[in-house]
């Protein structure tokens, strides 16, 4: 925390809770009771004690609490995410270094939220709370509320968000409510009760309120805490004056009671220090040019002067927002020059100590617009690179209003907008920046304006303007200009010439763009340049070079890339692996890409990867998996209203059906793709697939269409040209022209081998046995065909593996519970030894009772806790069990908890009781009974859960033990019936070790000894038995035992 500025340190440190103040145990317990929910909202107007309640909860709870105090600066989503990450790392040291927000600077709010949630889920196993104070401030920020909404949507089970503010947090409350994941506290909940009011009066004034006084004060104030305080009823002057007038104005109270009653030096300190949003002793000393601030701040806290403080060192302090506003207005009205002077001095301190956002605000409030503009200009590029575009937006609006000149602020804001694809505001901000730039401005900055103009034009499809902007930028840069800027110009040229169809020139420009970036600090730019080059090389058919280039880019992005970049890179790598026949590697890479696409909250990227995965499964002849993935991708594309993705999904689904002989369905899906493309002529992909469908039934028509495509479309990419040639050959074979079929197929093989598109041929030939056999007979010696046939065999082998693979292990959790004898828990054949004793006992309770009401669990395991703590403890315990055993092992259906009956869970107590029931159900003398009794006795491993001494365990242990003793007695009786006295003796010894007082076992034991002729043992055992009864219980042996003993002795 030493490296944090005072504002950030204050934001992540909970205020100290004064133990002498009112402890609102009732509300703390309500919060605990709702810990199982995702979100607990506390929404009331000012003065109800929201922050104090959060501090009270943080002090009283046993759960870890991560604190986030929100300010106006947190309307910038990257700053809010930074503060949340710092708070999490402060509480959980294992998270230090896990949040690399620089890599996420260009991520969407949803992607930020997904990433933070994933990191929490992987690294933090215990239940904890994130406390957000003053959430009403971020309601005005769409980006930050989008972050919080997405964060709640994917919130790990072990986390609860506690959000307090003057307004309800603007997230998807209806969805949370429908899921049972929302709880709320309002003014009626935070209003003081009669008991709390009486306690407050005792604490604050040392007086005892009468019932009449309390009722009248509650009626007057409606339990509003600030109203109670402002009423004067709890002042040291006593109770002689009841509230006669309407509630005093807050301003009058603060002036007459709080401020004017203070000594002059303290009153002056309060007024002057209020210019700081967050105070430290060092900052106040700097502001006031003195060294007594620490003493004043401590006096304010002791006097309860509407100040909150942290316990951390160095301590930070904050006035209540209403009180600070009152002090600022008073200072401003009393001495405007002094007010401005102190604002500027405070801004200087904050600027030097890492709080530029607050410094710019204070400069602007002081009217020091040139200073505000200078600081904003100095920090503009840093804000852009760290994704803080909302701060740039706020600064631009503030500076525009003041007519201050700050071209870099608008320039880097335009860059941020451009990266987001938000072109209208990008163009407007860029124009404003150019208007502010002076003729003598640095050429590098002026060149950057041209580069941004080129990027905006590229996104608009204005490729001539892109080239014009690149020319202008290069002229400004000259020979000695920035190599990074020159690389940007080359990238623009490469992208524009690629779109204009000049692939060779595009490749040369892309190579030059990368060469200019030969510096370790430019890795991100290097990766982008390599991705451009790889895509151009693929279009040129240079698959080997493209793969090598993609690999270089991928290595860089693994080091510095955010989720969206990694999703693209993994998809590119997987596509390369698919084309080169490395199918299993491709599947793994696609899975990684899908993970990052979802983390980036990018449905378009997710759909793209789903389609790519489906293409691979389709080639492998795993039709069900392919159809499922195409369906998922099409659903996303439809939701996004993305015509390009939808068209691709329809075409590929058509191919899936065609390959499996479903020509009707294939036509239907292709028709859907054509309906999306309202053009006079069909795109090449559609023409190729129509011809593929006609190659068998109308081969001449198919050949003509494909021939026209080859003549007309000079810009067919290498894969489209490969398929065009392939289906021309197939149509020729269907038409009976074997020589033409051989000739065109040979062209296909030559072209695909030279351009790295063998996989497209393999994917089609794998489903066409006739054409495959024709190729083998006519062109069996062709080297590319040999490669293709090996690919087909590999695909079949992998498909076989996938078809034989059992269901995902996560869907069938193997759980074995052993409670008899040495207790143990085994999950998927692994013994769990890290579970805490209480969690183990709860698990055995659920296994033993099968379905348990929540209230029974609460009273069984946490009877000494208040209701809210009980619920929180149960939630934490169940979460810990699910984390160890699997989320679907323990079910929660309404008020009932149970183990999932559909999972193969073994429990030795059930096995014992089942065996006992079978044995007990057989009549005496039945030939099967002896065997059944032996099985039941052998299944009893020992006393039930000896490690626990709870009432339910003790009672259950005794019941099971009694049943075991009954079985032993029956076993001995059956042995005697079968004239096996020695077997009976051995059985009865086990029973007597457990219960030496039991009459029937002693009776059978004596009888068995008598049958064995062991008279001395009969006597010695009988003497021990009667002494034991007399000494321990004060009883005589029952008559049947006495009679048997007499008969055996005589």
Calculate what percentage of the chain has a pLDDT beyond 90: 46
3-state secondary structure of 105: coil
The whole-angstrom separation of Cα 254 and Cα 257 is: 6
| 694-701 LR contacts (CB < 8 Å, sep 24+) | 694/731, 695/727, 695/730, 695/731, 695/734, 696/734, 699/731, 699/732, 699/734, 699/735, 700/731, 700/735
- Evaluate whether 675 touches 666 at the Cβ level (below 8 Å): no
- pLDDT in the model for residue 578: 94
**Overall residue count recorded for the chain in this entry:** 1050
- pLDDT in the model for residue 245: 37
Provide the 10 A C-beta neighbour count for residue 421. Answer: 8
pLDDT band at 603 (very low <50, low <70, confident <90, very high): confident
Provide the 10 A C-beta neighbour count for residue 244. Answer: 6
Helix (H) or strand (E) holding 853: strand 851-853
CA quadruple 210, 212, 215, 217: dihedral sign: negative
Q: Which residues of 355-374 are buried (b: 16+ CB within 10 A; e: fewer)?
A: bbbbbbbbbbbbebbebbbb
The whole-angstrom separation of Cα 80 and Cα 528 is: 28
Contacts for 308 with CB less than 8 Å, ≥ 6 apart: 15, 16, 51, 55, 317, 318, 320
Range among 104-108, 630-634, 695-699 rated most confident: 630-634
Least confident of 365-369, 538-542, 777-781: 538-542
- Of the candidates 143, 121, 374, the one whose C-alpha atom is nearest the C-alpha of residue 887 is 121
- Of the candidates 623, 629, 571, 577, the one whose C-alpha atom is nearest the C-alpha of residue 794 is 577
pLDDT tens digit string along 387-414?
Answer: 889 999 999 999 999 899 999 999 999 9
Helix (H) or strand (E) holding 300: helix 293-302
pLDDT band at 243 (very low <50, low <70, confident <90, very high): very low
pLDDT band at 426 (very low <50, low <70, confident <90, very high): very high
- Gap between the terminal Cα atoms of the chain: 91
Overall average pLDDT of the 59-83 stretch: 92
- Evaluate whether 211 touches 205 at the Cβ level (below 8 Å): no
The two structure tokens encoding residue 149: 């909404």
The whole-angstrom separation of Cα 905 and Cα 540 is: 58
The two structure tokens encoding residue 941: 């491993």
The whole-angstrom separation of Cα 413 and Cα 422 is: 11
pLDDT tens digit string along 255-275?
Answer: 655 677 788 899 899 999 999
The whole-angstrom separation of Cα 984 and Cα 980 is: 6
Sheet strands (E) in 958-1003: none
- Asked if omega into 314 is within 30° of 0 (cis), the reply is yes
Q: Is the pLDDT of residue 216 over 80?
A: no
- pLDDT in the model for residue 852: 92
Contacts for 578 with CB less than 8 Å, ≥ 6 apart: 586, 612, 615, 616, 619, 759
- Of the candidates 218, 223, 222, 350, the one whose C-alpha atom is nearest the C-alpha of residue 277 is 350
- pLDDT in the model for residue 789: 95
The whole-angstrom separation of Cα 940 and Cα 961 is: 9
- Of the candidates 210, 202, 211, 248, the one whose C-alpha atom is nearest the C-alpha of residue 228 is 248
Q: Is the pLDDT of residue 807 over 90?
A: no
Provide the 10 A C-beta neighbour count for residue 678. Answer: 6
- Of the candidates 524, 513, 456, 458, the one whose C-alpha atom is nearest the C-alpha of residue 489 is 513
The whole-angstrom separation of Cα 328 and Cα 339 is: 8
pLDDT tens digit string along 643-701?
Answer: 888 999 999 999 999 998 888 899 999 998 888 866 566 788 889 999 999 988 899 99
The whole-angstrom separation of Cα 305 and Cα 260 is: 12
- Of the candidates 270, 267, 273, the one whose C-alpha atom is nearest the C-alpha of residue 287 is 273
Per-residue H/E/C for 1018-1031: HHHHHHHHHHHHHH
Q: Which residues of 749-774 are buried (b: 16+ CB within 10 A; e: fewer)?
A: bebbbebbbbbbbbbbbbbbeebbeb
- Evaluate whether 104 touches 853 at the Cβ level (below 8 Å): no
The whole-angstrom separation of Cα 989 and Cα 1012 is: 15
- pLDDT in the model for residue 391: 92
- pLDDT in the model for residue 2: 43
pLDDT band at 1 (very low <50, low <70, confident <90, very high): very low
The two structure tokens encoding residue 819: 């409670």
- Evaluate whether 216 touches 244 at the Cβ level (below 8 Å): no
pTM of the predicted model as reported, rounded to 2 decimal places: 0.71
The whole-angstrom separation of Cα 750 and Cα 785 is: 9
Least confident of 36-50, 201-215, 370-384, 1013-1027: 201-215
Angle formed by the axes of helices 293-302 and 281-288, to 10°? 120
- pLDDT in the model for residue 787: 94
Question: How far are the Cα atoms of 134, 461, 492, 501, 504 from residue 509, in angstroms, in the given order?
Answer: 52, 19, 9, 14, 9
Overall average pLDDT of the 561-576 stretch: 86
- pLDDT in the model for residue 49: 83
Comparing 753 with 49, the larger pLDDT belongs to: 753
The whole-angstrom separation of Cα 819 and Cα 832 is: 14
Q: Is the pLDDT of residue 809 over 80?
A: no
Q: How far is CA 871 from the centre of its chain?
A: 24
Overall average pLDDT of the 172-188 stretch: 87
pLDDT band at 3 (very low <50, low <70, confident <90, very high): low
Provide the 10 A C-beta neighbour count for residue 738. Answer: 13
Sheet strands (E) in 263-322: 307-309, 317-319
- Of the candidates 841, 966, 859, 874, the one whose C-alpha atom is nearest the C-alpha of residue 916 is 966
Contacts for 791 with CB less than 8 Å, ≥ 6 apart: 581, 758, 759, 762
pLDDT band at 210 (very low <50, low <70, confident <90, very high): low
pLDDT tens digit string along 115-137?
Answer: 899 999 989 888 999 999 999 99
- Evaluate whether 275 touches 362 at the Cβ level (below 8 Å): yes
Domains of the chain: 6-190 (3.40.50.300), 203-248 (no CATH), 250-334 (1.10.10.10), 367-441 (1.25.40), 442-520+529-535 (1.25.40.10), 562-678 (1.25.40.10), 683-805 (1.25.40.10), 812-908 (1.10.10.10), 910-1049 (1.25.40.10)
Q: Is the pLDDT of residue 618 over 90?
A: yes
Q: Which residues of 802-836 are buried (b: 16+ CB within 10 A; e: fewer)?
A: eeeeeeeeeeebbbbbbbbeebebebeeeebeebe
Enumerate the H helices of 600-683 as residue ranges: 603-619, 623-640, 643-659, 663-676
- pLDDT in the model for residue 5: 73
The whole-angstrom separation of Cα 318 and Cα 324 is: 9
pLDDT tens digit string along 330-373?
Answer: 999 989 999 999 999 999 999 999 899 999 999 999 999 999 99
Q: Is the pLDDT of residue 496 over 90?
A: yes
Q: Provide the 8-state DSSP code for 775.
A: H
- Of the candidates 484, 483, 502, the one whose C-alpha atom is nearest the C-alpha of residue 493 is 502
Calculate what percentage of the chain has a pLDDT beyond 70: 92
- Bridge partners of 891? 898
User: What Rg, from alpha-carbon coordinates, does the chain have?
Assistant: 40
- pLDDT in the model for residue 239: 35
The overall average pLDDT reported for the chain is 87
- pLDDT in the model for residue 100: 82
- pLDDT in the model for residue 246: 37
pLDDT tens digit string along 705-759?
Answer: 999 888 876 667 888 999 999 999 999 999 999 999 999 999 999 999 988 899 9
The whole-angstrom separation of Cα 18 and Cα 308 is: 10
- pLDDT in the model for residue 257: 57
- pLDDT in the model for residue 812: 46
- pLDDT in the model for residue 241: 35
Enumerate the H helices of 437-462 as residue ranges: 443-459
Overall average pLDDT of the 544-563 stretch: 85
Question: How far are the Cα atoms of 478, 518, 525, 535, 574 from residue 529, in angstroms, in the given order?
Answer: 21, 12, 6, 10, 19
The whole-angstrom separation of Cα 6 and Cα 12 is: 10
Q: Is the pLDDT of residue 952 over 70?
A: yes
Range among 221-235, 668-682, 929-943 rated most confident: 929-943
- Bridge partners of 128? 159
- pLDDT in the model for residue 848: 92
Overall average pLDDT of the 41-55 stretch: 86
211 phi and psi, to 5 degrees? Answer: -60, -40
pLDDT tens digit string along 305-332?
Answer: 678 888 778 889 998 888 888 899 999 9
Enumerate the H helices of 698-812 as residue ranges: 699-712, 718-734, 738-755, 758-765, 769-779, 783-804
Q: Is the pLDDT of residue 94 over 80?
A: yes
Question: How far are the Cα atoms of 136, 163, 401, 777, 1026 from residue 128, in angstroms, in the given order?
Answer: 23, 14, 44, 69, 60
Q: Is the pLDDT of residue 625 over 60?
A: yes
- pLDDT in the model for residue 508: 95
- pLDDT in the model for residue 805: 42
């Amino acid at each position: 925390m030493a490296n944090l500025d005072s504002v950030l340190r204050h934001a992540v440190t909970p205020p100290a809770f004064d133990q002498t103040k009112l402890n609102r145990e009732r509300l703390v317990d309500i919060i605990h009771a709702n810990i199982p929910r995702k979100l607990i909202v506390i929404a009331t107007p000012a003065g109800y004690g929201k922050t104090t309640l959060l501090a009270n909860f943080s002090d009283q709870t046993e759960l870890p609490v991560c604190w986030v105090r929100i300010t106006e600066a947190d309307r910038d989503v990257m700053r809010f995410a930074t503060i949340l990450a710092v708070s999490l790392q402060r509480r959980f040291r294992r998270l230090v270094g896990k949040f690399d927000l620089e890599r996420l600077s260009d991520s969407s709010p949803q992607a930020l939220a997904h990433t933070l949630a994933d990191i929490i889920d992987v690294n933090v196993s215990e239940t904890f709370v994130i406390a957000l104070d003053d959430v009403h401030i971020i309601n005005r920020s769409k980006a930050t509320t989008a972050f919080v909404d997405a964060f709640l949507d994917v919130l790990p089970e072990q986390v609860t968000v506690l959000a307090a503010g003057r307004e309800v947090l603007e997230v998807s409350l209806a969805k949370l409510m429908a899921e049972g994941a929302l709880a709320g506290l309002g003014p009626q909940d935070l209003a003081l009760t009669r008991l709390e009011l009486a306690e407050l009066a005792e604490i604050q004034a040392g007086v005892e309120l009468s019932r009449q006084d309390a009722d009248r004060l509650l009626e007057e104030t409606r339990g509003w805490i600030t109203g109670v305080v402002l009423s004067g009823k709890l002042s040291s002057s006593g109770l002689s004056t009841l509230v006669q007038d309407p509630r005093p104005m807050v301003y009058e109270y603060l002036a007459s009671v709080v401020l004017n009653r203070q000594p002059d030096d303290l009153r002056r300190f309060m007024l002057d220090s209020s210019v700081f949003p967050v105070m430290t002793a060092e900052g106040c000393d700097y502001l006031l040019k003195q060294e007594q601030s620490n003493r004043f701040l401590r006096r304010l806290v002791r006097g309860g002067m509407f100040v909150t403080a942290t316990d951390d060192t160095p301590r930070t302090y904050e006035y209540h927002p209403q009180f600070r506003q009152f002090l600022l207005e008073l200072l401003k009205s009393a001495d405007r020059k002094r007010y401005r002077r102190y604002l500027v001095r405070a801004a200087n301190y904050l600027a030097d100590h890492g709080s530029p956002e607050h410094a710019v605000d204070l400069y602007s409030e002081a009217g020091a617009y040139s200073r505000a503009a200078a600081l904003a200009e100095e920090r503009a590029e840093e804000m852009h690179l760290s994704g803080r575009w909302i701060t740039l937006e706020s600064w631009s609006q503030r500076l525009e209003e003041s007519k201050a000149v700050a071209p870099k602020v608008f320039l880097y804001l335009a860059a941020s907008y451009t990266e987001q694809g938000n072109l209208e505001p990008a163009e407007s901000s860029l124009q404003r920046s150019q208007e502010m730039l002076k003729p003598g401005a640095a050429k590098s900055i002026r060149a950057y304006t041209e580069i941004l103009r080129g990027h905006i034009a590229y996104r608009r499809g204005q490729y001539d303007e892109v080239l014009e902007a690149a020319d202008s930028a290069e002229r400004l840069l000259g020979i000695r200009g920035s190599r990074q800027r020159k690389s940007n110009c080359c990238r623009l040229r490469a992208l524009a010439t690629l779109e204009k169809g000049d692939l060779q020139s595009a490749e040369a420009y892309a190579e030059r763009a990368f060469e200019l970036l030969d510096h370790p600090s430019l890795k991100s730019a290097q990766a982008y340049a390599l991705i451009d080059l790889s895509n151009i090389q693929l279009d040129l058919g240079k698959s080997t070079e493209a793969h090598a280039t993609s690999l270089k880019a991928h290595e860089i992005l693994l080091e510095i890339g955010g989720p969206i970049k990694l999703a693209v890179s993994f998809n590119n790598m997987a596509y390369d692996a698919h084309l080169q026949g490395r199918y299993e590697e491709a599947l793994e890479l696609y899975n990684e890409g899908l993970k990052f696409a979802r983390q980036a909250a990018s449905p378009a990227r997710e759909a793209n990867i789903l389609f790519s995965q489906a293409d691979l499964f389709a080639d492998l002849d795993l039709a069900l998996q392919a159809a499922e993935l195409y369906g998922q991708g099409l659903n996303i594309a439809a939701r996004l209203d993305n015509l390009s993705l939808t068209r691709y999904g329809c075409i590929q689904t058509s191919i899936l059906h065609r390959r499996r002989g479903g020509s009707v369905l294939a036509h239907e899906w292709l028709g859907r793709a054509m309906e999306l493309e309202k053009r006079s002529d069909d795109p090449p992909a559609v023409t190729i697939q129509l011809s593929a469908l006609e190659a068998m039934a109308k081969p001449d028509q198919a050949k003509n269409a494909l021939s026209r495509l080859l003549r007309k479309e000079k810009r067919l990419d290498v894969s489209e040209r490969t398929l065009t040639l392939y289906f021309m050959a197939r149509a020729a074979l269907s038409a009976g022209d074997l020589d033409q079929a051989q000739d065109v197929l040979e062209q296909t093989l030559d072209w695909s081998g030279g351009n790295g598109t063998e996989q497209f041929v393999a994917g089609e030939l794998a489903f066409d046995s006739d054409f495959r056999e024709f190729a083998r007979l006519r062109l069996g010696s062709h080297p590319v065909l040999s490669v293709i046939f090996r690919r087909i065999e590999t695909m079949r082998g992998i498909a076989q593996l996938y078809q034989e693979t059992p269901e995902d292990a996560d869907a069938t959790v193997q759980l074995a519970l052993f409670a008899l004898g040495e207790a143990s828990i085994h999950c998927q054949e692994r013994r769990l030894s890290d579970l805490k004793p209480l969690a183990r006992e709860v698990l055995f309770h659920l296994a033993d009772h099968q379905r348990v009401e929540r209230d029974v669990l609460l009273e069984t395991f946490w009877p000494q806790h208040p209701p809210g703590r009980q619920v929180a403890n149960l939630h934490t315990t169940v979460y810990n069990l699910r984390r160890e055993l699997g989320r679907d092992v323990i079910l929660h259906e309404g008020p009932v908890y149970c183990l999932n009956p559909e999972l193969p869970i073994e429990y030795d107590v059930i096995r014992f009781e089942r065996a006992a029931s079978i044995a007990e159900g057989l009549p005496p003398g039945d030939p099967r009974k002896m065997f059944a009794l032996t099985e039941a006795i052998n299944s009893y491993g020992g006393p039930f859960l000896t490690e626990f001494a709870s009432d339910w365990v003790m009672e259950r242990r005794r019941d099971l033990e009694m049943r075991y003793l009954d079985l032993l007695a029956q076993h001995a009786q059956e042995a005697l019936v079968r004239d096996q006295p020695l077997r009976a003796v051995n059985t009865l010894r086990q029973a007597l070790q457990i219960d030496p007082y039991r009459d029937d076992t002693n009776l059978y034991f004596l009888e068995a000894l008598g049958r064995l002729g062991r008279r001395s043992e009969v006597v010695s055992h009988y003497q021990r038995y009667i002494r034991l009864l007399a000494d321990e219980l004060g009883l005589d042996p029952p008559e049947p035992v006495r009679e048997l003993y007499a008969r055996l002795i005589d």
